[in-house]
Amino acid sequence: MKTLKNIIQANFTKLKGETLSKLKRAWAKEIGFIPKNSQVLKIYNQLLKEKKIKPSIHFKSLLITRKTRTQSGVAPMAVMTKPFACPGQCIYCPQEKDMPKSYLSDEPAAQRAKKVKFNPKLQIKSRLKQLKATGHTTDKIEIIVIGGTFSVYPKNYKLKFFKAIFDTLNNQTSKNLQQAQEINETAKHRVVGISVETRPDWISATEIKLLRKLGVTKIQLGVQAFDEKILKKINRGHSLKPVAQATKLLKNAGFKICYHFMPNLPSSTPKKDLSMAKIMFQDPRFKPDYLKVYPVQVIPGTKLHTLFKAGKFKTYPDDVLKQVLKNIKKITPPWIRIDRLVRDISKQWISSGTLKTNIRQIILLELARENKTCQCIRCREIKDLPLVIPAQAGIYAIKKIIINTLGGQEYFLSFEDKGKLYSLLRLRLPNKNQTVIFKELKNAAIIREVHTFGSAMALKEHQSTKTQHQGLGKKLVKKAEKISQKNGFKKLAVISAIGTKEYYKKLGFYPEGLYMTKDI
C-alpha cells in the first residue's frame, strides 16, 4: 500500500492551488484518510531534506493555516508573565484567581501560559512548534509580553524571564542575558521586536534604561481615556500629565508606542468617545503609533459590575458601539496601526457589553458598502498580495507625512501604491538642547521603526513578487539620513531590536551603547 509520502513525491509537480483539495480526496482512496495540511507540510519538508523534490514557495503557501498570523512580515508570539500584584485599582479590571490582573484564563494566550505555569521557555517552545507545524516562517520573531503592569515586576524576575525567551529561541543556554542577546543577533530565530504592557505613571528614566537593557522596542501604555473627569471616575490613579510625559520620554528614546483606549467608560458618551479619539490623534502630547481599542465589557467581580447591577452604568447597544468604532476608524491617521478593536473575551465572562469578537470585519464591510475606507496601517498593509513591478507601481516615490509632537518632530516615510502599504519608517528629530537618557542619543536623530510588510520570509529568502528583501527599508533609511542632515543632525541612531542588528550593520550603523548609530 502506498504511503502519503510516496504519493506526494509522485504527484508533487501536479500540485496546483485549484487542485490541492481534489488531490487530497484522491489520496484518501489510497491511504484511507484525508490528510491535514500540517501532515502534508511535514512530509514536504522531509522530502526537501532528502533532496527528493525541489523547494516550491507556491506549494508551501497553499498549506499554511491562518495565513494572517505572519502577513505583517513577522511571526508574533505572546508570552505571559506570572500573576503579580498591580498598583492599579481601576473599576473595570477583572482579577481572576491565579491569573495576572486584567487577564482571564480562557483567553488564547492565557490558556497556553497557565497550562505551563507561566514558564516562558515552555510558552515559546509551544508557540514555535505550532507555527512551524502550520507552515509559518519563524526566522523573524516579534515577542509580545503580556500580563499586567510589567514595570511592577521585580527586576531579577524580568531579567530571568527575558533570558529564558532568548535561550529558547537560540536553542542553547547562556550564562546571562547579554550573552543570550549576542547569540540571537545571528540565530535562526531572531527577535526583531519586543513589546511590554505598563502604566504611564510607571515610566521613568530608570525604567526606560532597564527596558532597553532587556531589548524592548515597543511599549503598550494603558491610557483608557483622554478626559480627566473620566480618569477619576474609573479610579485610574493618574492624570493625563504622566501620559504626555511618558510618551515624550519614550519617543525620544526611540520606542514605538501603543495606547490602550476604552470607549463607553462611565461618564462617557458616543460623542465624548469620538472627541477623546480626536484628542489622542491630534494633540501633540499624544499621537501614538499603534492603538488597541477595548470597548467596555462588564466582568463579574469588578467594581464596574457592582455599578451595573445597581443600574448606575449601562453599556452601549451593539449598533451604537459599532457606530462609535466606525467613526473612530474614519478619523484614524494613516501613520497609526489599529492592532485590535475589541478584546477576545469569551461570552461566559461578560455580564454586559458586546459579544461580537468579529466587529472589525463587520465595520470594514459596512465602510466598503459606503465607499469609504479606514486609513490605518493594518487596513492598508500589502499582506500576501504580490508586489507589482516597481516601475509601474511607482512605489519608489517615497511618501512623507510630518507629525508635530511634544519634544520633537516626526517624519512618517512610506512606500505605498493604490491604497496598499509596502514599507514604512518612523524618524524622530528631537528638539535641540533637551535632556537625554542615553548619551549615545545626544544630538542624534533617531529611527524608531523600519518595517516592510507582506508574508514573512526566511532571512535569506528572496522572491521578485514579494515585498520583503527588495531593499525598500534600505531606501527609506537613506531618505531618513538626508532629512536628518537637512535638519542639522550629524548623527543618526536607531532603536534596533536584537535580531535586526546585522541588518543595520550592513547599512553602515555600528553598536553604541544600547543603540545602533551612524555618523552622517
- For 314-354, the pLDDT digits (tens) are 999 999 999 999 999 999 999 999 999 998 888 889 999 99
Find where cell 499582506 sits. 383
What is the percent of the chain where pLDDT is above 70? 89
What is the residue-averaged pLDDT of the chain? 89
Residue 122 CA to residue 177 CA, distance in Å, equals 18
Query: Does residue 44 carry a pLDDT above 70?
Result: yes
* 105-119, 124-138, 301-315, 407-421: segment of lowest average pLDDT: 124-138
**3-class DSSP state of 430:** strand
Q: Is 390-519 a domain of CATH 3.30.1360.70?
A: no
Q: Kindly give, in sequence order, each residue whose CB lies less than 8 Å from that of residue 360, ignoring residues fewer than 6 positions away.
A: 341, 342
Alpha-carbon 467 to chain mean position? 19
How far apart CA 90 and CA 114 sit, in angstroms, is 24
Asked if pLDDT for residue 460 goes beyond 80, the answer is: no
- The domain ranges of the chain are 4-63, 67-198, 235-343+353-380, 390-519
Grid coordinates 496598499 are at which residue? 420
pTM of the model: 0.90
Distances (CA, A) of 512 to 176, 348, 431: 20, 51, 21
Cell numbers standing for residue 153 = 515586576
DSSP letters along 158-205, please?
HHHHHHHHHHHHHTS--SSHHHHHHHHTTSSSEEEEEEEEE-GGG--H
Phi-psi region of 509 (alpha: psi -120 to 50; beta: other; left: phi over 0): beta
The string of DSSP codes covering 450-506 is EEE-SS---TT---TTSSTTSSHHHHHHHHHHHHHHHTT-SEEEE---GGGHHHHHH
Q: How far is CA 230 from CA 267, 278, 307, 337, 440, in A?
A: 6, 16, 15, 25, 40
Distances (CA, A) of 16 to 22, 61, 63, 295: 10, 11, 11, 43
